[in-house]
Structure 1
Amino acid sequence: MEAVKMAEEYKFETRCIHGNGGLVEGHPYGAVSVPIFQTATFAHPGIGRSTGYDYTRESNPTRHELESVMSTLEEADDSIACTSGMAAIGLCLELFEEGSHILCTEDLYGGTVRMFESIGEKRGVTFSYVDTSDIELVRKSIRKETKALYIETPSNPTMKVTDFAAMKEIADEYGLLIIADNTFLTPYFQKPLTLGADLVVHSGTKFLGGHNDVLAGFVCIKGKGLSEKLRYTYKTVGCCLPPFDSFLVLRGIKTLSVRLERQQENAKKIALWLKDRPEVKAVYYTGLPEHPGYEINQKQASGCGSMISFKVDSEKRARKLLESVKLISYAESLGGVESLITYPMLQTHGDVPVETRERLGITEDFLRMSVGIENAEDLIADLEQALAE
């Protein structure tokens, strides 16, 4: 109990490194970094006895430490580390039976939509998509078979903001679960479980790992009942994060707070610069006061992160920019120390029907940028030369 009490007193930055306290004391030989327990199985001390670990598909000391750190950061009752963010979302889908309906933010990551409309619907679960920033529209879209609200805020890639307090009120009224994708802001800037969510999913590949070198995903859980259901499925389907990958994500999390502060600082400078460029028609960044969701984001999050989307004045200019950047990489993914720029219509949302993409504004002139920790002036200079005629 003393370690837990101490953890409540630790600030977020300290918990990124020390978790709930006492991690080093539990490591063999006093190792400061968590050892990589690269083993598939563990010997039993005797019949009917266990060291606490039996088989890595079910649990592993390296992964357990990562899950413990994630739980203290998200203020969760349990966290499950998966092989990818998609594996984490797939695990959540196993909670729903045939005939269930899930109401989703309309502007979701394209891979999430692909999973819902292929694997989810094949299992008899149906999905509908609405603008969850429109509270009355959400309420009107609930059916008798609706079991959950699936929220991504800010949304990917148009950065719409959903009000968690309003969603919690609706969920309580209709007896719904709230599942929130917190990949963009991470628990450093936003803690959905404290705002009313029941489950939080992450692509740990992104900001949590932070170095574009590992795939990972998380489900962070409120409540013992949900934890038991998901843990049982987890060990059964075997989507467990390997020990070495767990080590890499733990190493990344140690610098989460300092990376995100620098990335956000850079993003604010770049968003303001983009606003004044004649080639740029619109900038979507929740840190700009004119953003429609600015006030709500200020209320429920401690920051605005480092994801920016913007529209240029033509498809030709968009394609030229992608092929002209030198410092910034034209690549999928986000959240790493390196700045990346993406063409959502071809990459992240390539599987979304054209009419849906265009209705959402994900058009041929639309770009998404993940701002890294480089010098902001260097990043701006790279964008400037890439935007030039």
Structure 2
Amino acid sequence: MSTDAPRSWSKRSLAAQAMGHVDLQTRAVVAPIHVSTTYIRDPDNQYSSGFVYGRPDNATVREAEAVLAMLEEAQAGALLFSSGMAAATAVFQALDPGDHVVAPTVMYWALRRWLSEEATRWGLEVDFVATDDLDALRAAMRPGRTKLVWIETPSNPLWTVTDIAAVAEIAHAAGARLAVDSTCASPVVTRPLALGADVVMHAATKVLNGHSDVIAGVLAGAAPDAFWTRIQRIRSGQGAILGPFEAYLLLRGLRTLHVRIAAQMAGAADLARRFEAHPSVHAVLYPGLPGHPGHALAARQMQGGFGTMLSIRVAGGAAAAVAAAAAVGLWKRATSLGGVESLIEHRASIEGPGTPCPDDLLRLSVGIEDPDDLYADLDRALSAR
């Protein structure tokens, strides 16, 4: 591949043109999908192409990784995984038995469950704390033993905001690394590495891809150190790389990331304001609202918008919330988030016993539909009970 992309191009322009790469053989503006699992050796038995086998590396995957590394300003580069969970768990697997980990009390439920049920079998010690409470976080640190602090901001599905720069300072002072799940913010809105994080993770299935047709995860690293090298080995050894066709679809999604998320954030902000005054809603959880406890921090840490996600708490409790979700038409009752279609979900029933999610909460992932239509549809559903 070749590129004529000037360094002065903005991230939006670079993403839109996939770093300006052009296929040298065909002059195509869209990179081909490389599906080969194996590669020819040179006569001297070397691999001058840089490719040996499909499990650790792939040219189409590299194309998407280059765009992601650019968006996150990741000096170590980016690594694509077969899912967000594969990416996240690789970070914890790169630690040593006996290492202590601090994670949020409110976070993606599947990873919280894995940390509770599986990470201890790897010999890790895990403490869950409210990571937006810096005093609680400091109290949870064990200098010399705490090796990783994991945060998620905004946190799913309560949308609390954690101060990345402050947590990075606390973690580093104790000799720990900071990893940030930035799935719901995206690199368009928040760049954790620039704020002091060591690793940033995205479930690329969500906002980055944006079309609900790819399962993928990505890690981006601040520095190409020994820890990052171990994560690379884990991906290779466990065969957790993303497939080439999925990487191609993800790259396609990344090209429209900036325009998609701008429309989605505008819609989310509009809906948050309108539902805040709705008689059937007793609380709206959205960092963009001035009354949100993390609003001032989010305004500093999130650039250009407050994300595409919000939650509403329905007056009347769990039964009323489930009934409202059942009565929508334009909104789709489905899990996941970040796609161009708007999704609604009663999270407590998905997460099950032990969830920190209130049972009257509906999580809303705002797509690119007309916000007036989205409001009218959910307004009718809330009023029909």
Please tell me the TM-score bracket, short chain as reference.
Answer: over 0.9
8 Å CA contact 1:27–1:34 kept in 2: the answer is no
Query: What SS does the aligned partner of 2:26 have?
Result: helix
1: CA distance between counterparts of 2:9 and 2:175?
A: 34
Match of 1:311 in 2: 313
Kindly state the Cα deviation for residue 374 of structure 1 after the two structures are TM-superposed: 0.3
2: CA distance between counterparts of 1:137 and 1:85?
A: 27
Deviation readout 1:42-92 (Å, 9 max, x if unpaired): 122323321111111111110001111100001112110000000001111
1: CA distance between counterparts of 2:361 and 2:17?
A: 41
2: CA distance between counterparts of 1:5 and 1:373?
A: 29
Q: 1:63 aligns with which of 49, 61, 64?
A: 61
Kindly state the Cα deviation for residue 4 of structure 1 after the two structures are TM-superposed: 9.9
Query: What SS does the aligned partner of 2:330 have?
Result: coil
Kindly state the Cα deviation for residue 166 of structure 1 after the two structures are TM-superposed: 1.1
Match of 2:219 in 1: 219
2: CA distance between counterparts of 1:247 and 1:5?
A: 20
Deviation readout 1:261-297 (Å, 9 max, x if unpaired): 0001111111111111111010000111111111111
8 Å CA contact 1:70–1:79 kept in 2: the answer is yes
* Equivalent residue letter for 1:66: A
Aligned length: 377
2: CA distance between counterparts of 1:315 and 1:224?
A: 47
8 Å CA contact 2:206–2:338 kept in 1: the answer is yes
Q: Single out whichever of 329-338 and 91-100 deviates more from structure 2.
A: 91-100
Deviation readout 1:109-152 (Å, 9 max, x if unpaired): 10111121222111111211111111111101112421111010
Query: What SS does the aligned partner of 2:347 have?
Result: coil
Match of 1:383 in 2: 378
Kindly state the Cα deviation for residue 19 of structure 1 after the two structures are TM-superposed: 4.4
Query: What SS does the aligned partner of 2:139 have?
Result: helix
2: CA distance between counterparts of 1:337 and 1:3?
A: 30
Match of 1:79 in 2: 78
| Length-normalised TM-score, structure 2 | 0.95
Query: What SS does the aligned partner of 1:189 have?
Result: coil
- CA gap of 1:298–1:248, structure 2 versus 1, over 3 A, is same
Deviation readout 1:212-257 (Å, 9 max, x if unpaired): 0110000111111133221122111110000000000000000000
Q: 2:367 aligns with which of 344, 369, 372?
A: 372
CA-atom RMSD in angstroms = 1.6
| Length-normalised TM-score, structure 1 | 0.94
8 Å CA contact 1:342–1:369 kept in 2: the answer is yes
Deviation readout 1:317-373 (Å, 9 max, x if unpaired): 1011111111100100000000001111122x23xx43xx3xx4x122111000000
2: CA distance between counterparts of 1:12 and 1:126?
A: 39
Match of 1:133 in 2: 132
2: CA distance between counterparts of 1:86 and 1:249?
A: 17
8 Å CA contact 2:283–2:314 kept in 1: the answer is yes
Q: Single out whichever of 362-371 and 248-257 deviates more from structure 2.
A: 362-371
Query: What SS does the aligned partner of 2:313 have?
Result: strand
Report sequence identity in percent.
36
Query: What SS does the aligned partner of 2:118 have?
Result: helix
Gaps of 5+ in 1: none
Gaps of 5+ in 2: none
Kindly state the Cα deviation for residue 18 of structure 1 after the two structures are TM-superposed: 3.1
* Equivalent residue letter for 2:306: C
1: CA distance between counterparts of 2:132 and 2:5?
A: 37
8 Å CA contact 1:6–1:20 kept in 2: the answer is no
2: CA distance between counterparts of 1:30 and 1:346?
A: 51
8 Å CA contact 2:94–2:234 kept in 1: the answer is no
